[in-house]
Amino acid sequence: MSKAEGKEQSRGTLIQPRTLKGFRDYLPEAMIPREQLIDTARRVYRSYGFSPIDTPALEYLEILAGKGGAESDKQLYQFEDHGKRQVAMRFDLTVPLARFAAQHIGQLGTPLKRYHIATVWRGENTQRGRYREFMQCDFDTIGTESIAADIETALVIHDLFVAIGFERFTIRINNRKVLNGLLERLDLAGESVAVLRALDKLAKIGREQVAAEMQETAGVSADQADEVLKLAELSGTNDEMLAALEPLVAGSEIGAEGVAGLRDVLAGAMAAGVPEERLRLDVSIARGLDYYTGTIYETFLDDLPGIGSVCSGGRYDNLAELFTKQRLPGIGASLGLDRLLAAMEELGLVEKVATPAPVFIPFFESDRLHDYLQLAARLRAAGLGVEVYPEAKKLGQQLKYADKRGFRVAVIVGGDEFAAGECQLKDLASGESRTLPLDDAEASLVGALQELLAAGE
């Protein structure tokens, strides 16, 4: 077969372009708000002194297996690599952190405050706002059991959602020690993992199915299941619920510790300025992952609670013990980036733009390319994002391109404008234009652009 025949055959057998189920491509209009959220999270985390780290996407299977529970193990992407090693892709960023801390804590010291923004993989059934490949934005404090770290975790979550632009959200907190204290009083301490995993599904499947699952997986009686669900269904103000919890865990030291911890976190967050309506005690949340040991957090959007928690976490004081004899208690939370973006899209909070640059310069005088490039460079030097169209075409065609991609303003300079030393500043949303001098782009033009862009935010 000749080379020409081979090329002709290859053209006839095109591979269908498609993505795997549960995975997705991110077009610019999806990726731009995603990066904006990441930038916001990074800024808030850094403001509290959290430092960035990264870990490999691939870990030894023994590092990840058994750390998040049976359900997480089922969802692991695992395989044998070329070196015949049993490996898996990380399903969250917390278990790799435990390995990381055990490996490097001697060099880094404690407390270690880190944030980690990276992709994770879970082979689970897809749902609204949830994919098999998704990004987490974690922050954690390792090496202290101080209640100050628990309080700070709530403060970071609160400040993060305020920085994103939300006013109506609720951080729900609980403490696994309260739940464990009740189980201890009911002689169910040995079944805590199965009971708490079932309880974590209360909002999704309802009381009857949770009770049935407890009886099936943990061997509890109907009366015992009812006692656990009564605790989970407590309601009222934070103070009313704290008062109601104390008799329910009476006689259990661990239960009393949990109630005291909740009281301290609530009081500390209020002292730091968190409104009470944004931080609510909710004894129904259990966080299904096995490694949580104390305070736990779930964050819901008041205008779209059905999408589920968009920022969750808690205290895990024993996770690193699998990797080191040194005690390394930890606490932190993770922003569910893709789920939050799905919620923001439903709420109409995501601006549909396909360009990160707000300023557009049309190119329709073919012999003035260097002048257009020079103007764009001067505007960028003043801190503005600017794109110059790459081909000399009719102005209407270029403005159609600008409108499709969501540019905010166009700086139009044609032959007449060049001759007069002027430019037309066009607001692409309203269609309004005004004339400004070209020779002081760093002054009046920049000022006018900044004013126009600020007015549209």
Does the pLDDT value for residue 128 go beyond 70?
A: no
The architecture that CATH gives domain 28-346 is 2-Layer Sandwich (3.30)
24-50 pLDDT, tens per residue?
Answer: 899 999 899 999 999 999 999 999 999
Mean local confidence (pLDDT), 371-385: 94
75-121 pLDDT, tens per residue?
Answer: 999 999 988 999 999 999 988 999 999 999 999 999 999 999 999 99
Confidence of residue 344 (pLDDT cuts 50, 70, 90): very high
3-22 pLDDT, tens per residue?
Answer: 555 555 556 689 999 999 98
Q: Report residue 294: phi and psi, to 5°.
A: -145, -125
- Which pLDDT score, from 0 to 100, does residue 355 have? 93
Does the pLDDT value for residue 356 go beyond 80?
A: yes
- Which pLDDT score, from 0 to 100, does residue 125 have? 80
Cα–Cα dist 213/444, whole Å: 69
Name the β-bridge partners of 114: 51, 140
Confidence of residue 295 (pLDDT cuts 50, 70, 90): very high
Confidence of residue 2 (pLDDT cuts 50, 70, 90): low
Cα–Cα dist 383/232, whole Å: 53
- Which pLDDT score, from 0 to 100, does residue 312 have? 94
Confidence of residue 126 (pLDDT cuts 50, 70, 90): confident
- Which pLDDT score, from 0 to 100, does residue 384 have? 94
The architecture that CATH gives domain 359-455 is 3-Layer(aba) Sandwich (3.40)
Mean local confidence (pLDDT), 257-278: 96
389 vs 7 pLDDT, higher one? 389
Domain edges within the chain: 28-346, 359-455
Does the pLDDT value for residue 288 go beyond 70?
A: no
Query: Are 139 and 332 within 8 A, CB to CB?
Result: yes
Question: Which two tokens mark 190?
Answer: 């040995």
Do 28-346 and 359-455 fold alike per CATH? Answer: no
Does the pLDDT value for residue 1 go beyond 60?
A: no
Mean local confidence (pLDDT), 386-410: 95
Query: Are 144 and 329 within 8 A, CB to CB?
Result: yes
Mean local confidence (pLDDT), 352-369: 93
User: Which has the minimum average pLDDT: 65-74, 143-152, 231-240?
Assistant: 65-74
- Which pLDDT score, from 0 to 100, does residue 446 have? 87
- Which pLDDT score, from 0 to 100, does residue 173 have? 96
- Which pLDDT score, from 0 to 100, does residue 373 have? 96
